[in-house]
Structure 1
């Protein structure tokens, strides 16, 4: 395992750490590998119910390494596309993981680090943390799906100020607008994310995976298409063991046990 990332299993949760603390956890190719490997591990391991993305040293992720971006300026256009596509693959891996992914944001999330946080299903953010799109200061534009995810969650005018003026948005404001799930006091972000993961772990694994898939589909589907997606997912769920346990518990006025 690289020194730039770490996997840690805590109960039924896999915590994937970005350990590039000397660069405020800027993204590295080692972390790309570690994150994708961890998500694949979570997907195939029934003992892992949720994934937490965290940054060592009190900062979630500062985004792309500017030295690496400087090197890409010398590449042909097509090669630049290939390199940026690796970030896209990382974001897709987070969204496509069937297990819920929670971003535990301490300190802040900037640039592609913000894209990574927004790709998660839920965000627990430390009070006072800052969410920043500062690409414009380097003469660049957002990537990693940032403009898509942020305009899904926030008013367009708010995202425009973030992207065009590099104005940070506080965790408190992100929470008010619904983009952050929970706020945590300083020093409690990971613990609060773990509590959220534990709550998820008590739920039905297949149903939760189905819900995540439906939420992803809903972002681009028409109303009619989403009705079809939900019909098919519900028909599948009704025939499963989880529905048998859940419906039986509801009718007998007991608490369901799914795992």
Structure 2
């Protein structure tokens, strides 16, 4: 296990598990967390032995969001400096969203504020049935950031999103599953294991095809149907000519499991990147 001041890393076969590690503050975001996540993602993107990532939190809690002691110190900064600091969170949200390999959030206990944003930026979300989530900014006189309103607006009605943001009230994992935000509920204490199982399945898939699928799904809400049809046509034309399709179709016709992992190793040897 590699230990950073705010992030732990370990591998479970082809799955990289990243654990936010600030348990004394319910894994509130430490000053160096964003840099550590960026470094870990950059290394994982180029590692052919990593097919998927799980993002979770230490000691049965995902992330309580921003550390108010650190945030209070930023009140003394000028506007431009505050804008620059906030850009680090937004950059990490985009890097999680745009990462070419699948990322599964595993939420035990709960997630609040920017911690909620980090979970939503992942491709899939597994949560323990007793977990709770909140957009808690209003309770300390702040406004949402980290893309949380945009990410939740893809699944929640404007009225419910506004209620959660204006009140700071908690919403349960079961309620979020009902609204399609949570993909899978797990028993208390089992969200991490369930997320690793899901990520391990995804890690066996075709890397380039999955990167294209992620991009198509990410933009589907904002494009017109005509634009999405064109994006799908382009992606399909590229995929049909690729080695992954050759292997996948041959495996299907030959009634054998597809071996996409060997293609990843070939890509790494030739310096080919996914995406």
TM-score (norm: length of structure 1):
0.96
Residue 30 of structure 1 aligns with which residue? Answer: 32
Q: Is the 8 A contact 1:2 1:30 kept in 2?
A: no
Over residues 50-82 of structure 1, what are the superposed CA-to-partner deviations in whole Å (9 max), with x where a residue is unaligned? 011010011000000111111111111111111
Mapped partners of 1:165, 1:201: distance in 2: 39
Match of 2:216 in 1: 214
Looking at structure 2, the residues matched to 72 and 223 of structure 1 have their Cα atoms a distance apart, in angstroms, of 44
Please say which of residues 214-223 and 79-88 is displaced more in the overlay.
Answer: 214-223
Displacement after TM superposition at 1:31 (Å):
1.3
SS of the counterpart of 2:55? strand
1:249 is displaced (CA, Å) by 2.7
Q: Structure 1: any 5+ residue segments left out of the alignment?
A: none
C-alpha distance in 2, partners of 1:238/1:29?
45
Aligned residue for 2:201? 199
Match of 1:120 in 2: 122
Match of 1:20 among 4, 22, 25: 22
Q: Which residue of 1 aligns with 2:251?
A: 249
**SS at structure 2 position matched to 1:183:** strand
Q: Distance in 2 between matches of 1:140 and 1:218?
A: 31
Gaps in structure 2 of 5+ consecutive residues: 262-275
Aligned residues between the structures: 259
Q: CA deviation at 1:158?
A: 1.4
Partner of 1:84: 86
Deviation larger for 145-154 or 249-258? 249-258
Residue range with higher mean Cα deviation, 103-112 or 9-18: 9-18
Paired with 1:131 and 1:83, the residues of 2 have a C-alpha distance of 24
Offset at 1:172?
0.5
Structure 1 match to 2:272: none
Correspondence 1:44-63 to 2 at 5 A: 44-63=46-65
> Aligned residue for 1:161?
163
Aligned residue in 1 for 2:236: 234
**TM-score normalised by structure 2 residue count:** 0.91
Distance 1:113 1:64 in 2: 8
Asked whether the equivalents of residues 6 and 34 of structure 1 are also in contact (C-alpha less than 8 Å), the reply is no
Matched, 1:68 2:64: no
In 1: Cα distance, 2:184 partner to 2:7 partner: 25
Shift of 1:214: 1.2
Q: Deviations over 1:183-207 (max 9, x none)?
A: 0101211110011011102211111
Cα deviation digits, residues 197-229 of structure 1 (max 9, x gap): 111022111111111111122232232222221
Corresponding residue to 1:149 among 148, 151, 155: 151
Structure 2 Cα separation of the partners of residues 25 and 135 of structure 1: 17
User: What whole-Å deviation, never above 9, does each CA across 1:160-197 have from its counterpart, x for those lacking one?
Assistant: 11100111110001111110010010121111001101
Q: Partner of 1:29: helix, strand, or coil?
A: coil
Per-residue CA deviations over 1:67-124 (Å, capped at 9, x if unaligned) read: 1111111111111111111110110110111011110000000000001100000001
